Amino acid sequence: MSLRLQGVSKSLGEEAHIHPVDLELLKGTMNVLLGPTAAGKTSLMRLMAGLDKPNSGKIYWNGEDVTGMRVQDRDIAMVYQQFVNYPSMTVYDNIASPLKLRIKSAEEIDARVNEMAELLQLTAILDRKPDQISGGQQQRCAIARALVKDVGLVLMDEPLANLDYKLREELRSEIPRLFAASGSIFVYATTEPEEALLLGGNTATLWEGRVTQFGPSMDVYRRPIDEITARIYSDPPMNFVAVRKEGSMVHFPNGRSTQASDDLGGLPDGEYRAGFRAHHLKIGEENANSLIFNARLTVTELTGSETFIHLDAGSERWIGLVPGVHSFRIGQDLQVCLDPENVFYFDGKGKLAGVPNSETEKSRA
């Protein structure tokens, strides 16, 4: 079982929604489409489903060209961020409706509906209609109706966005188990890098209608091929600063230098961009190798157990994520620390030139 996109693109007038993309998704895989709002995730899923026809390229299902095939003739199920349920049916009948269309036995329908209802915490409201339940319950009903179909391709477009935090976390852990048990191809769109990592499987990062990278989720996170992918797979987006490599050393604008990473060591001397994620920027955790920067605090955001700090660092604007609740004063000067073991390097074209030594060690393990 496979879904293959070959040179698929989509435009409206002169505006490109999806630039030519090649992807192959295999049976029993979780595939996450990760990107900001308007990156092209929904447009790509609509092409996969057959809701839209590409301007160029072909779509193959199990080797068969299905580019022009109607969505109702394909072996798929879809779940949207905005839930869709039949208002005149009970929750039970909404979930059962795909099975009734397939003329399944009453016993099989009942068993499958109750299985999905238990998983999605809907058992107590099976006899109610959509206008009698909460928005979160309606979304769970829509998810159950899609999953009960037991189809080859399940497309989920930010399906948990409207759920409360506790249920969202529970379902995030359940969805990988569901797809593994079904053997279906799952495609899951999200704007959240953390969600992509939690779901595992593969990740395709999207930016302005382009797939910038596709591969195992942890590999894409640890080795983003360019600055754009690194920004997409960091929340908040990765911080950057201009550096210069000379011999085996990398010089930062604060007057401090550090040993070049293993990858960067053999590359030509010159100007590069150093990138690091928010949680690697520390306050008061200096060690012998730390790079120290002077910065001015512009904004703080409390998340409960952590604090986001927005900083002016010369010509750069950075965001750090530090543990604990802090009562910083807006405009105050701070010294922030960065362990060079956590720094990525990108060349003048924005392509990955060197990964952190810490990630190199992980990949060897």
Give the span between the Cα atoms of 2 and 191, in whole angstroms. Answer: 25
Q: What is the pLDDT of residue 362?
A: 54
Q: What is the DSSP letter of 238?
A: P
- Long-range contacts made by residues 319-327, C-beta under 8 angstroms, separation at least 24? 319/236, 319/237, 319/239, 319/278, 319/281, 320/278, 320/279, 320/281, 320/282, 320/283, 321/236, 321/278, 321/279, 321/281, 322/281, 322/282, 322/283, 326/300
Burial (0-12, 13-18, 19+ Cβ within 10 Å), 36:
middle
Contacts of 340 (CB under 8 A, 6+ apart): 250, 258, 259, 289, 290, 291, 357
For the chain, give every residue range classified as CATH 3.40.50.300: 2-225
Query: For residues 97 and 148, is the Cβ–Cβ distance under 8 A?
Result: no
CA dihedral angle for residue 299, residue 301, residue 305, residue 311, rounded to 10 degrees:
-30
DSSP per-residue codes, 97-153: HHHHHTT--HHHHHHHHHHHHHHTT-GGGTTS-GGGS-HHHHHHHHHHHHHTT--SE
Could you give the residue ranges of the DSSP H alpha helices within 204-350? 217-222, 227-232, 262-265
Q: What is the pLDDT of residue 277?
A: 96
* Residue 202 structure tokens: 């593969």
Q: Give, for all 365 residues of the chain, the pLDDT tens digit.
A: 899 999 999 998 889 999 999 999 998 899 999 999 999 999 999 999 999 999 999 999 999 999 989 888 888 988 887 778 899 999 999 999 999 988 899 999 999 999 889 888 899 999 999 999 987 788 889 888 988 887 889 999 988 877 777 778 877 777 777 677 677 899 999 999 999 999 989 999 999 999 999 999 999 999 999 999 999 999 999 999 999 999 999 999 878 899 888 888 889 999 999 999 999 998 876 777 889 999 999 999 988 788 999 999 888 899 999 888 888 899 999 999 999 999 999 999 999 999 887 665 454 33
Question: Degrees (nearest 5) of the Cα angle 144, 145, 150?
Answer: 90
> Looking at the DSSP assignment, which residues form a beta bridge with residue 272?
243
Place of tokens 């489903």: 49
Query: For residues 253 and 242, is the Cβ–Cβ distance under 8 A?
Result: yes
**Distances in whole angstroms, Cα of residue 94 to Cα of each of 90, 105, 129, 151:** 6, 16, 9, 17
Question: Degrees (nearest 5) of the Cα angle 13, 18, 20?
Answer: 110
For the chain, give every residue range classified as CATH 2.40.50.140: 236-364
Give the span between the Cα atoms of 326 and 81, in whole angstroms. Answer: 35
Give the span between the Cα atoms of 172 and 200, in whole angstroms. Answer: 10
In CATH terms, is domain 2-225 a member of 3.40.50.300? yes
Backbone angles phi, psi at 16, to 5 degrees: -85, 120
Give the span between the Cα atoms of 141 and 4, in whole angstroms. Answer: 30
Query: For residues 309 and 361, is the Cβ–Cβ distance under 8 A?
Result: no
Contacts of 3 (CB under 8 A, 6+ apart): 23, 24, 25, 48, 59, 60, 61, 153, 185
Place of tokens 């070049």: 260
Helix 165-182 vs helix 135-147: crossing angle, to nearest 10: 0
Task: Give CATH for domain 236-364.
Answer: 2.40.50.140
